[in-house]
Amino acid sequence: MLSPMGSRTLQSSVISLLSNKREGYMTRAIGYIRVSTDKQAEHGFSLEAQAEKLKAYAMLYDIELIDLVIEQGSAKSVHRDGLQTVLGRLGQDADGLLVVKLDRLTRSVADLGRLVETYFQDYALLSVGEQIDTRSAAGRLVLNVLASVSQWEREVIGERTSAAMQHMKSLNKYTGGKTPYGYDLVSGSLVENEAEQAVIQLVAKYKAEGLSYRKISKVLAEAGYLSRTGRSFTPNRIMQIAA
């Protein structure tokens, strides 16, 4: 077992070794800035704020910020011209990619995982907001954990929203979109339309009797039943009503 003096000596040696390894070398990084709208891209404070954060981070951690690439677009896909150009420069004139937050790259944990596996095993991914530096194993671990938690949060929100919509639907509350056939929208609630409900019942009856959708549309037209647009029901519309 090492004595306290020996432990301190070993710690000092490790620190010295790390310092010597870094001395004379500065990571060359490209700053990537993404804004979601044209307005932000042209006038928004988001651009300036992101740029200032990247410059301050680079100065603090002795990173050579060789370029700032600005792109307007959605994070739904990583197949964006600006991002792909930056990724292609890794190993050429840059050693790493610097962003304000991971969602500037992508909001998909699957896409983020693929980026890490493809590019950031060999090159650095640096995030100001999450304090991530994948130049170390610990940094890569934190990145994976944060990405998983972010994905979990989005899925939980989606589940809650879906449950709320289903509950509203069960109470005949309007949940958005076109008012379904057979109902009228009254003060935010769905109220049965007697005339349309009669058509729905006839469609169900004729379908049970084995009539085709084309035949049912013809029978309804002959009986004088018309759709909301004032036209005869098409076979496709009959199929939708019967669903």
pTM above 0.85, yes or no: no
Is 16 a residue of the active site?
A: no
Domain 24-152 matching CATH 3.40.50.1390: the answer reads yes
Contacts within 8 Å (CB) and 24+ apart, 179-184: 181/228, 181/240, 181/241, 182/241
Q: What is the pLDDT of residue 90?
A: 95
Give the closest residue to 187 by CA, choosing from 168, 197, 174, 169: 174
Indicate the residue type of 21: K
pLDDT in tens, 58-109: 999 889 999 999 998 887 788 899 999 999 999 999 999 999 998 899 888 7
Q: What are phi and psi of 96, to 5 degrees?
A: -160, 170
Contact 70, 47 (CB under 8 A): yes
Mean pLDDT, range 189-203, rounded to an integer: 88
Pairing of the two strands 96-99 and 28-35: parallel
Q: What is the pLDDT of residue 218?
A: 92
Is the four-CA dihedral 199, 205, 207, 211 of positive or negative sign? negative
In total, the chain counts a number of residues equal to 243
Q: What is the pLDDT of residue 63?
A: 92
Set 16, 36, 74, 232: catalytic member: 36
The domain ranges of the chain are 24-152, 183-242
